[in-house]
Amino acid sequence: MKSVIATSISLFCFFYSSYAQEATLSLDLGIKKYIGKINKLDRNKYFGLQSSYTNKELNEEADFIFGKIGSHPAKNLYGPEPSGNLQTTSINKIQNNLKKLQKEIEANPTFKKFGSSDFILTQKIPFKVFDPNANVETGALKMAEFIKTLFPKEPMYYELMDEPFENAYLFSGDPISVKKQISKFYGSVAKVFKKELPNVKVGGFSSSRPLFELNNFKNWEETHKLFLDEAGNDVDFISSKLYDVLDKDSGTLNYCSGSNTDAILDLIDSYSYSKWNQLKPHVITEYGLKVPDWKGTQYTPQYATFIVQSLNNFAMSFMDKPNAIAKAVPYVFGKEEKFYSDVKNNPKANPHPWALLRKTTESTYSYTDLVKFYEFWEDVAGERVYISSNNPDIQVNSFYNKGKWYIVCNNLSDITQTLNFSFTNNDIVRVTNYTIRRLYADQDGVLELTEANTDLHIDQLDIDPHETFMMICDVPEQAIFATSIVEYDNYSKQLLQPIVANTPIKFEFEKVVTGKGKANIRVSFGRSRASDMKPVIKLNGEYVLTPSNWAGYNQNNRDFFFGTLVVPIPMSYLKEQNEVTVSFADDGGKISSVVINTEIFSSDVNNANYVENNAPVFSSHGGNLLNISPAIECKAPKIVDADGKVVKRLKFYNNGETIDISTIKNGEYFLQTSGGGNYKFKK
């Protein structure tokens, strides 16, 4: 497999597209940030473990706390049968092991580095759980009894089945009918649990990497939409598995992380909003890199590098959605039980590279490089503070806790990027020391975790391809927040609209929170890679500029693109009621969702550093200069007033030029271009 890794790296460079090689990061320790109502980092959400891959006795993993465990932590224990009969094989043994595990966890403070005490219980084998002819209520009551009997602490989240739709073929009948029956079963069990175990949330259906866009979104219709239609009123959460995968045909990585993940979650959320005027929380039961061919192979440090890079891609995205994501569990297991030398002599031996610990002898274990993922994040905590990136390939998060300011950046691209840190003058004075923590691949593809310190101010650094970088700034113990900013997502009830060439598709938004701050439109669409990828977008009749870059790779190794384009918009264009229109130059595919995202400053402070400057056309320098974006390509544009009268012709205009408009009176004007553009601005 080493050759496959080498091939994937070399070929991936061909498939990746990045239009910028630098990013400007705006930071301000004086601005506390809320996403919805959430300000503090909840570590329980993002850093956990799967159960032992071999499902051996759980107490062997007592150094760690699980994010997710199967319902059969020892052989022959599957929970209740569909008929309601509860298997009792090994119950006493498992009870003792679980109690011992819980005590050891509570006595061991180091578990906080690795995960969460709020775990997910998943019934692993669908045909052991679901029988269309069984009494649903009887089975559900036995499931509740099973949990009460075995677990000293109830799971917070309960999945009835693992990937049941993928296993629908196990049951006789039409696949769609079977999926509907399974979905109704989820809803029925959720109703019983609300009475028997009110603190346990029931949800599903744990699909593996949702490929909603297949067959022009027919796959969405027959999976998540079907589930939400049948069970959505009763279940507490929607569970998914999100993976980056290795494409066998091209030898390249097929990334779900980045814009594809954004499109998947936005479609689910938009549909939830259209049905219930609110969102069902997400539980991501597995996230990371999954390569089926790696099962049964020996661990290598290079494998670990790819896995950890994928984990960070997802983790950074999920941290941006703390109000939508209830929990997300890394695809990392506790121990690899089979000693790697057994593979040659024992075909049933099943080593794999996703284990945190692997056997080095028959009785000893050592950490794999996957532990570096947890070590990188182990002390990050606190309140979210303001940070933004003008490059979608550079993911950013920022937190403050007890004199430590954590600034985290992740490079989704396969090229080195230059990070320009735009600190406020006040913050430059406050920082007394910088600790630089880096997690990157060395020249041999081996993961390196390093730290360095300096008291010299840092305003620019390079970040390697797929590197995750952290700057830990020492600041005064009591940070004073001068103001705050609140981020809102606003959803439209129009979704999955077919694309017809040059035909604007309308999306309506109500009760959008406006004010002083910044905003963007997230446009998600799925269409053939050969199609036009640059939509024409209007907000309330005003053109907005469409960027050429999105988060992550350009999906050139896929036949069908499905991703999200984030489009900055001027705040002055926004109203409480808004209309967004989107059109493409050719037919095919669908616009899956459109979301307006706003970040609104509190009104108690005049945030002079955050002036609107992302309009396609705007005046500056006291109204004496007109700034025209280079993205507006035209010859001889003209300036007209509100009555349509031409007040200035720009016969010799050069693309991207700044125009002197000092002789024009103050008022509202339009820049009209040869291509039919009509851009409003004020002087």
Residue 591 within any structural domain of the chain: yes
Domain final residue pick, 343, 377, 411: 377
Tally of domains within the chain: 3
Residue 263 within any structural domain of the chain: yes
Mean pLDDT, residues 97-122 taken together: 53
Instruction: Return d(Cα 651, Cα 255) in angstroms, integer.
Output: 47
Residue 388 within any structural domain of the chain: no
Q: What is the pLDDT at residue 358?
A: 82
Q: Which residues contact 11 (CB under 8 A, 6 or more apart)?
A: 250, 251, 252
Whether residue 469 has a cis bond before it, omega within 30° of 0? no
Q: What is the pLDDT at residue 94?
A: 47
Mean pLDDT, residues 493-500 taken together: 98
Question: Do 517 and 485 touch, CB atoms closer than 8 A?
Answer: yes
Residues 222 and 88 grouped into a single domain? yes
Residues 539 and 645 grouped into a single domain? no
Better-scored residue on pLDDT, 398 or 114: 398
Residue 531 sits in a domain of what CATH number?
2.60.120.1200
Q: What is the DSSP letter of 86?
A: B
pLDDT per residue as tens digits for the range 433-459 = 999 999 999 999 999 999 999 999 999
Strand duo 578-583 + 536-539: pairing: antiparallel
End-to-end CA distance of the chain: 62
Q: What is the pLDDT at residue 256?
A: 95
Mean pLDDT, residues 595-615 taken together: 66
Question: Do 101 and 58 touch, CB atoms closer than 8 A?
Answer: yes
Domain final residue pick, 321, 354, 377: 377
Instruction: Return d(Cα 224, Cα 204) in angstroms, integer.
Output: 10
Q: Which residues contact 594 (CB under 8 A, 6 or more apart)?
A: 492, 494, 495, 507, 521, 522, 523, 524, 580, 582
Q: Report whether pLDDT(461) > 80.
A: yes
Instruction: Return d(Cα 287, Cα 305) in angstroms, integer.
Output: 15
Q: What is the pLDDT at residue 365?
A: 77
Residues 166 and 70 grouped into a single domain? yes
Q: What is the pLDDT at residue 246?
A: 85
Residue 453 within any structural domain of the chain: no
- Note the pTM of the prediction, 2 decimals: 0.82
State whether residue 272 is helix, strand or coil: helix
Residue 654, domain extent? 617-682
Residue 1 within any structural domain of the chain: no
Residues 528 and 639 grouped into a single domain? no
Question: Do 505 and 591 touch, CB atoms closer than 8 A?
Answer: yes
Residues 593 and 665 grouped into a single domain? no
pLDDT per residue as tens digits for the range 626-683 = 878 877 888 889 999 989 999 999 988 888 777 888 789 888 899 998 878 888 888 8
Residue 632 sits in a domain of what CATH number?
2.60.40
Residues 539 and 642 grouped into a single domain? no
pLDDT per residue as tens digits for the range 339-382 = 544 545 555 556 789 988 887 777 777 889 999 999 999 899 99
Q: Report whether pLDDT(607) > 80.
A: no
Residue 244 sits in a domain of what CATH number?
3.20.20.80
Residue that has been written with the tokens 């409003």 in this structure: 680
Question: Do 393 and 417 touch, CB atoms closer than 8 A?
Answer: yes
Residue 217 within any structural domain of the chain: yes
Question: Do 218 and 226 touch, CB atoms closer than 8 A?
Answer: no
- pLDDT tier, 537 (very low <50, low <70, confident <90, very high otherwise): very high
Instruction: Return d(Cα 529, Cα 365) in angstroms, integer.
Output: 46
Residue 327 within any structural domain of the chain: yes
Residue that has been written with the tokens 């775990």 in this structure: 119
Mean pLDDT, residues 269-288 taken together: 95
Residues 171 and 289 grouped into a single domain? yes
Residue that has been written with the tokens 């979905």 in this structure: 183
Task: Return mean pLDDT, the chain.
Answer: 83
Q: What is the pLDDT at residue 312?
A: 98
β-bridge mates for residue 244, sequence order: 289
Residues 592 and 652 grouped into a single domain? no
Residues 293 and 218 grouped into a single domain? yes
The tokens describing 552, both together, are 């992550």
Considering Cα of 139, then 141, then 142, then 146, what sign does the dihedral take?
Answer: positive
Residues 488 and 625 grouped into a single domain? no
Residues 501 and 640 grouped into a single domain? no
Residues 594 and 625 grouped into a single domain? no
Residue 587 within any structural domain of the chain: yes
pLDDT per residue as tens digits for the range 187-246 = 999 999 999 999 899 999 988 889 999 999 999 999 999 999 999 999 999 999 999 998
pLDDT per residue as tens digits for the range 540-575 = 999 898 898 999 998 988 889 999 999 999 988 999
